[in-house]
Chains A and B, each alone.
Chain A
Amino acid sequence: MENSAIVVASDVHKYFGHGETAVHALDGVTISFLRGQYTAIMGPSGSGKSTLMHCLAGLDRPTSGSVTIDGVEITTLDDKRLTDLRRDKIGFIFQAFNLLPVLNAEENITLPLTIAGRDIDKGWVDRLIETVGLDDRRAHRPSELSGGQQQRVAIARALVTRPAVVFADEPTGNLDSKSSAEVLRLLRNAVDEFNQTVVMVTHDAEAASVGDRLVVLRDGRICHDAASGTREQVDDLMRTTGIEAAARG
C-alpha cells in the first residue's frame, strides 16, 4: 500500500567527483520502506550502502532521483528545511554513539526535543528510559557509562521524537556481543512495540538476521531484497554476495 511506505527512493544516482575519475556510488536505486518494518542493509565495502543511507536520511543529496520521507520530497529542500525534517521525522543511531559529553544520559535523550524547543513528554521519556534499562543511570554522563549503555542512550534519543524512521549506521560496530544483542533487541522492540520504522546498515550477520527484511547492495545497485531469514541463511547469502562478515573476537 502506497500510504504505508514511509521512505521512498526512486532511481537514485550518486556520483562522487566528475569526469574520468567519477565514482558511481549509487546507480539507480529504487526502494521503499514500509511503516513498522525493520530493514537491514548489507553489502561489501564500497557497495554504496552508507551513501544510500545518507541520501535517504537527508545527510547527503543524490545527484539525481527522488527521495520522499513521510510524503515530503527531500532532495529539493534547502538546508534549513532539511535540518528541520531531520529533527522532526528522523532518528539517528551512530556507530560511535556520538553523545554530548557535557550532558547526562537523560539530557542526551531529550536533546532533540530541547533543540526543537518542544515540551518534554515526561511519561514518554520515562517509558523510553525504562525500556532501554537506564533508570538508575539517568544522571550519569557518557564518560561514566559503558559502550553498551551509551548506545542505549543513543537509541532512546533516536526514539524520543517518535520519528517517522530511525536510521542506524552500524549500531553494533563498536560493541561486544552481549551489548550488541541488547541493542538489537531494543531495536526489534521499538519496531514491535512502538510500530517504529528502522533502517539499519550493518556488517553483522547477527544484526541482519534480527530484521524483517534484508537488502544487499553491490556496486551501487540492489542485488538482493527479501525477508531476512535465519542467521545461517544470512551467512550463506553473505558468502555468495562476497560480503565480509564483521570481525568478532
Chain B
Amino acid sequence: MAALTVRGLLARKMRAVLTGLAVLLGVAMISGTYVFTDTINSTFEKVFETANEGVDVVVSGRSEFDTDTGPVTQEIPESLVNRVKDVPGVQTAAGNVEDFASIFKANGDQVKTGGAPPLLFSRPPEQFDPLDYVEGEPPASPQEVALNKGTADEEGLKIGDRVSLVGRTGREDFRISGLATFGDVESLGGATVSVVTLPEAQLLADQRGKVDSVQVGAEPGVTPQELVTRIERVMPDTVEVKTGEQVATDQSDSIKSSLSFLNILLLVFAGIAVFVGAFIIFNTFSITVAQRTREFALLRTMGASRGQVLRSVMLEALVVGLIASVLGLLLGIATAQGINALFKAFGANLPQEGLVLKPRTIIVALLVGTVVTMLSSLAPARRATRVPPLAAMREEAAAPEPPTRRRKILSWALLFIGAAAVLIGLFGGGPAGQALGLLGIGAILVFIAVALLSPRLVPPIAAAVGYPLERLRGVAGCLARENALRNPGRTAVTAAALMIGLALVTFVAILADGVKASVDDTISKDMRAQIVVLNKDGFSPISPQTGDAVNRVPGVETVSPLNTSQAKVGGVSGKPFGSGIDPATFDEVWDMHIDRGPPDVLSTLSGRDIALEKNWAEDNNFDLGDTVRMTTPVGEKPVLRVRGTYEDKGALVGDFVVTHDLIRQDFGMRDDLFEFVAVQPGADPKAVQDRIDRVLEQRFPITESQSRTEFQESITGQVDQFLFLIYALLSLSVIVSLFGIVNTLVLSIHERTREIGMMRAIGTPRSLVRRIVRYESVITALIGAALGLAVGFFLGVVTTIALEDEGFILSIPYITLIAFAVLAVIAGVLAAILPARRASRLNVLEALAYE
C-alpha cells in the first residue's frame, strides 16, 4: 500500500507540488521568523558581551523595569567615580557616558541609520574599550571623534574629515581621529558609533558632572562578585552595582523581550498563512479523493480494508507535509534575510549576522507543517474510506454530496458562536488580553463557518459577479460561471482561503482609517498650538533644549513641552502610558476635554497630582480623590492624588497626565516628545515656522517643525506605514490562497480534459479556452473578495464601534476596499495563467481519447 501511495504521488507531481506549496510558505515564514529573531538576539548578545569585555563591575543608575521603547536608566553623579576608586580591590574605575548623537557630514547631510540608533560613547580607558582602532587613533582632544569603520566606509568619510555631532545640546564640530571596529561584530544594522572624550560626551548628552555608569576593573585576585558586595556598601540606594557579565546578560535580555513582540507579530501572520494553507490542503485532498473514487473502489473490491484506504491517503498527506515542511524550513532560513529587508524598508534596521538555526526552529517548522497537512486531509481521507466497492463499476466520478443537515446546523452554530465571541470580546469589558483572544478565536470560527456555509453562497454570488462577465464576454463568461458552479463546495473552499486574507486586510484598513480619522479630528479640533516641533522620524524623543531655542524665536508666544513614559500602578496590570505636561502653558497649546474634576485641573496640576483618562480610570476603578501608587522605570515611587479625568480621543497623552517635571525627574525621562508652539497674536504662523526651521536646522537638525496639517499628515503617515507593514505580512496569506486557486483550476481542468478536447475539435481557439479558465479564476477570486470584504467589514465596524470610547471614529475607506476588489480580480487573472496555459495547450486528440 505504501509503495502504491508513493507511486501515486510521483504520478501526480503537479498536484503534490501545488499542495505542498500551500504548506511550504507558512512553514517558511515560521522558520524565517525564528531564524530572524534568534539571529538578532545572538548578534546583540555578542554586541553586549563585547561592550562589557574587561569590565568586572558596573555601577549605574537604578532601573526598575524597561519601558516598551527600551531600558531607562538614571544618570549618576560623577563624584561617585572617586568613591568607587577608594573601595579596596578596585584597580580602575572610570565614568562612562552612553547616549545618542546624530552624525552630520561637512556638506550638512545627515548620516542615516535606517531606524537604528546613532550611538554616542565616551572614550573609556583602554582596558574597557570594546573598540579596535583599525585606522588612526582614539579621540584624545575635545575636537576629536572616532567613528565605526562600517559607517565611515559607507559614507566615504576618512581620517581628518570634519563632521558634526548633534546631541541634546545641539551641534558640535569634530575632526575624525580614528576608525574602529566593534570587536568582531560585523554589522550593527545601520547603527552609527561615535566615540568622543568623556567631557565632550557629557556636553553632548547635557549631563555635565554626571555619568551613566561607572565601569570598574578589579585588582588581581578579587572576584567581580566580591567587588560588587564591597562597592554596594558605600553606594547610595539610587544606584545598582552589578558584574559586567550580569550587565551584558541584562542588556541582551532586555533586547530579547522587546523583540518578543516582533516575534509574536510575525508568528501570528505566519499562523494565518498556515491556516489559509490548511483550507487549500483540505480542498485539494477533497478534490483528488473524489477524482480517485474508482481507484479506491477498486482497491476495496480487491479486499483493501477501510483502514488501509485511510492510511494510504494519510500517508500521502504525511509525505507531502513532511517534504513541504523541510523545503519550507530551508526557504525560511533563506528568507530570514528577506524579512530583514522588509523591516529595513519600513524603517527598522536591525543588526544581523551569522544566521542562527536553533533546534526549536526545526522542530516547530516540521511539526506544524506536517501536523497541519495531516489534520487538513483527515476529513477527505475519511471520505475516501466511505467509497463503496460498487463505485468501481460506475462510469462517472461521484457527484458531490449535498451538505447534510447536521453540517448545516454545525455551520450556523459555529457562525453564531464565532460572532458572539467577537462581540463579547469587544463589548464584554474584559481585560485587553482576554478581549483580543476572544476576538481572534471568534474570527477563526467565523472564517470556518463562512467557509462551511459558502457552498450555499456561491451560486448567488457567482451569478452576480458572472452576470456582467457573461454580458460583456459572451460564451467565455457564461461557461466560466457555469464551471465555477459545477461544484460549489470546491469553489467555495477555494474562495474561502482568499476570503481570510481579504477579510483581515479589510479589517485592518477599516481600523486604520478609524485611527486616522480620529487623529485628524482631534488635531483639527483640539490642538491650539499652530506649530509642533518633533523628531524628523516622528516618534523619537528630542532634547528639551530644543524648546528653549524655539522659545527665543521672535513671534513665538509660548512653547509647551510634552514628555511621555510608562509606569507600574499598584493594583493594575500592564504598564500604562502617560504624559507629562507643563501646567502653566498646556492650556494654551491644547484643548483637553475634562470629563470630571475642576475644568482647570491641568493648569493647576501639582507635582503630587494626576489626571486619568476617563476609560482607564473607570476600568481600573479610580475615583476623584483616590490615591495612585506608581513605580517608575527608574524605581521611584510617587504617590499621586487623582484630581480629574479627561477624554483622550486621539490617544495623544495616554492613560495618565502628570507634570512634565515629574516625568523628567521621577521617571528618568530626560527628553521630550513634542514641543507645542503657540505664536503671538497677529504674527504670521508661516513666517514664525520659517524662523523656527532656521534655528532647528542650525542647532537641532534631527528635529523639524510641523504645522497642524503637517502634524496630521505625519501621524497618519505613521499609521499608514504600520498599515503597509501589516499588508505586506498579510500578502503571504493572499499568495497562499492564490496557489489554492491555481490548484483547484488545475485539478478541475484535469477533470474536464475531454470537454476541452471537444471544444478545441469543433473549432474553439486556444485564446477562448484560456479566457474561459481566466474568467472562472476571476469569478472565484471575486467570490473570495465578496466574502472577505463582508466578513472584514463586519469585524472592522464592530471593533470600531467597541473602541468608540477610545476615540475611534467609524470611517470606511471605500477607495481602499474597491482597490482590494480590483486586486482580487488581478490576482484571479494571475492565478489563471498557468492553468489556462495548460488547458489551451492540451493535445486535442489525446484529450479526446482521455478517460
- Taking Cβ atoms with an 8 Å cutoff, the residues of A that contact B are 54, 57, 59-60, 79-80, 83-88, 90-92, 94, 96, 98-103, 111-112, 114-117, 157
Known: A98-B848, A102-B486. A116 touches B763 (CB 8 A): yes
- Establish whether residues A115 and B764, one from each chain, have CB atoms under 8 Å apart when the complex forms: yes
Task: Kindly state the separation between the CA atoms of A13 and B486 in the bound complex, as whole angstroms.
Answer: 43
Interface centre among A99, A101, A102 (most CB of B within 10 A): A102
B768 interfacial contact with A, CB 8 Å: yes
Residues of B within 8 A of A111 (CB): 475, 759, 762
Task: Kindly state the separation between the CA atoms of A134 and B774 in the bound complex, as whole angstroms.
Answer: 33
Residues of A within 8 A of B763 (CB): 83-88, 90, 112, 115-116
- Establish whether residues A103 and B845, one from each chain, have CB atoms under 8 Å apart when the complex forms: no
Chain A residue nearest to B764 in the complex (CB)? A115
Would you give the shortest CB distance from B214 to chain A, in whole angstroms?
Answer: 83
- Establish whether residues B844 and A157, one from each chain, have CB atoms under 8 Å apart when the complex forms: no
Residues of B within 8 A of A101 (CB): 486, 755
Besides A59-B761, A86-B762, 16 other A-B contacts (C-beta < 8 A): A59-B844, A59-B845, A87-B764, A92-B758, A92-B761, A98-B754, A98-B755, A98-B757, A100-B758, A100-B759, A103-B479, A111-B475, A114-B474, A115-B765, A115-B768, A116-B763
Task: Kindly state the separation between the CA atoms of A85 and B765 in the bound complex, as whole angstroms.
Answer: 11
Would you give the shortest CB distance from B849 to chain A, in whole angstroms?
Answer: 9
Identify whether the interface residues of B are mostly helix, strand, loop, or mixed.
Answer: helix
Chain B residue nearest to A115 in the complex (CB)? B764
- Establish whether residues A79 and B475, one from each chain, have CB atoms under 8 Å apart when the complex forms: no
Known: A98-B755, A98-B848, A100-B755. A92 touches B762 (CB 8 A): yes
Give per-residue flags for B812-851: 1 if the beta carbon is below 8 A from chain A beta carbons, else 0.
0000000000000000000000000000000011001000
A sample of 16 inter-chain contacts (CB < 8 A) reads A80-B765, A83-B763, A83-B766, A84-B763, A86-B763, A87-B762, A87-B764, A98-B848, A99-B758, A101-B755, A102-B483, A115-B475, A115-B763, A115-B764, A115-B768, A116-B763
Chain B residue nearest to A88 in the complex (CB)? B763
Chain B residue nearest to A89 in the complex (CB)? B763
Interface centre among A83, A86, A94, A101 (most CB of B within 10 A): A83
- Establish whether residues B479 and A102, one from each chain, have CB atoms under 8 Å apart when the complex forms: yes
Chain B residue nearest to A51 in the complex (CB)? B845
Residues of A within 8 A of B757 (CB): 98
- Taking Cβ atoms with an 8 Å cutoff, the residues of B that contact A are 474-475, 479, 482-483, 485-486, 754-755, 757-766, 768, 844-845, 848
Contact of A117 among B474, B758, B762 (CB under 8 A): B474
- Establish whether residues B760 and A83, one from each chain, have CB atoms under 8 Å apart when the complex forms: yes
Residues of A within 8 A of B486 (CB): 101-102
Would you give the shortest CB distance from B782 to chain A, in whole angstroms?
Answer: 19
Task: Kindly state the separation between the CA atoms of A85 and B762 in the bound complex, as whole angstroms.
Answer: 9
Task: Kindly state the separation between the CA atoms of A116 and B768 in the bound complex, as whole angstroms.
Answer: 10
Would you give the shortest CB distance from B486 to chain A, in whole angstroms?
Answer: 6
Residues of A within 8 A of B759 (CB): 100, 111, 115
Residues of B within 8 A of A157 (CB): 762
Task: Kindly state the separation between the CA atoms of A148 and B851 in the bound complex, as whole angstroms.
Answer: 20
Task: Kindly state the separation between the CA atoms of A200 and B151 in the bound complex, as whole angstroms.
Answer: 83
Residues of A within 8 A of B765 (CB): 80, 83-84, 115
Interface centre among A57, A59, A80, A84 (most CB of B within 10 A): A59
Residues of B within 8 A of A88 (CB): 763
Known: A83-B763, A102-B486. A60 touches B768 (CB 8 A): no
Interface centre among B479, B757, B758 (most CB of A within 10 A): B758
Residues of A within 8 A of B760 (CB): 83
Residues of A within 8 A of B483 (CB): 102
Residues of B within 8 A of A83 (CB): 760, 763-766
Interface centre among A60, A84, A86 (most CB of B within 10 A): A86
Residues of A within 8 A of B844 (CB): 59
Task: Kindly state the separation between the CA atoms of A100 and B766 in the bound complex, as whole angstroms.
Answer: 17
Residues of B within 8 A of A102 (CB): 479, 482-483, 485-486
Would you give the shortest CB distance from B449 to chain A, in whole angstroms?
Answer: 29
Known: A54-B845, A59-B844, A102-B486. A94 touches B766 (CB 8 A): no
- Establish whether residues A115 and B482, one from each chain, have CB atoms under 8 Å apart when the complex forms: no
Task: Kindly state the separation between the CA atoms of A117 and B486 in the bound complex, as whole angstroms.
Answer: 24
Contact of A96 among B479, B485, B754 (CB under 8 A): B754
Would you give the shortest CB distance from B382 to chain A, in whole angstroms?
Answer: 27
Task: Kindly state the separation between the CA atoms of A147 and B763 in the bound complex, as whole angstroms.
Answer: 24
Would you give the shortest CB distance from A159 to chain B, in whole angstroms?
Answer: 12
Residues of A within 8 A of B475 (CB): 111, 114-115
Interface centre among B474, B483, B757, B848 (most CB of A within 10 A): B848
Chain A residue nearest to B480 in the complex (CB)? A102
Task: Kindly state the separation between the CA atoms of A79 and B761 in the bound complex, as whole angstroms.
Answer: 11
Task: Kindly state the separation between the CA atoms of A130 and B483 in the bound complex, as whole angstroms.
Answer: 29
Residues of A within 8 A of B485 (CB): 102
Task: Kindly state the separation between the CA atoms of A92 and B845 in the bound complex, as whole angstroms.
Answer: 13
Residues of A within 8 A of B764 (CB): 83, 87, 115
Residues of B within 8 A of A57 (CB): 761
Chain B residue nearest to A85 in the complex (CB)? B763
Residues of A within 8 A of B766 (CB): 79-80, 83
Task: Kindly state the separation between the CA atoms of A85 and B768 in the bound complex, as whole angstroms.
Answer: 16
Interface centre among B761, B765, B844 (most CB of A within 10 A): B761
Would you give the shortest CB distance from A190 to chain B, in whole angstroms?
Answer: 16
Task: Kindly state the separation between the CA atoms of A94 and B486 in the bound complex, as whole angstroms.
Answer: 23
Task: Kindly state the separation between the CA atoms of A83 and B759 in the bound complex, as whole angstroms.
Answer: 10
Would you give the shortest CB distance from A198 to chain B, in whole angstroms?
Answer: 16
Would you give the shortest CB distance from A100 to chain B, in whole angstroms?
Answer: 6
Task: Kindly state the separation between the CA atoms of A76 and B292 in the bound complex, as whole angstroms.
Answer: 41
Task: Kindly state the separation between the CA atoms of A100 and B760 in the bound complex, as whole angstroms.
Answer: 12
Chain A residue nearest to B848 in the complex (CB)? A94
Task: Kindly state the separation between the CA atoms of A91 and B758 in the bound complex, as whole angstroms.
Answer: 11
Would you give the shortest CB distance from A34 to chain B, in whole angstroms?
Answer: 23
Residues of B within 8 A of A103 (CB): 479, 482
Task: Kindly state the separation between the CA atoms of A88 and B764 in the bound complex, as whole angstroms.
Answer: 11
Task: Kindly state the separation between the CA atoms of A87 and B483 in the bound complex, as whole angstroms.
Answer: 22
Task: Kindly state the separation between the CA atoms of A86 and B483 in the bound complex, as whole angstroms.
Answer: 24
Would you give the shortest CB distance from B423 to chain A, in whole angstroms?
Answer: 41
Residues of B within 8 A of A94 (CB): 758, 761, 848
Task: Kindly state the separation between the CA atoms of A57 and B844 in the bound complex, as whole angstroms.
Answer: 12
Chain A residue nearest to B485 in the complex (CB)? A102
Task: Kindly state the separation between the CA atoms of A231 and B760 in the bound complex, as whole angstroms.
Answer: 35
Would you give the shortest CB distance from B842 to chain A, in whole angstroms?
Answer: 12
Residues of B within 8 A of A60 (CB): 845
Chain A residue nearest to B850 in the complex (CB)? A96
Residues of B within 8 A of A116 (CB): 763
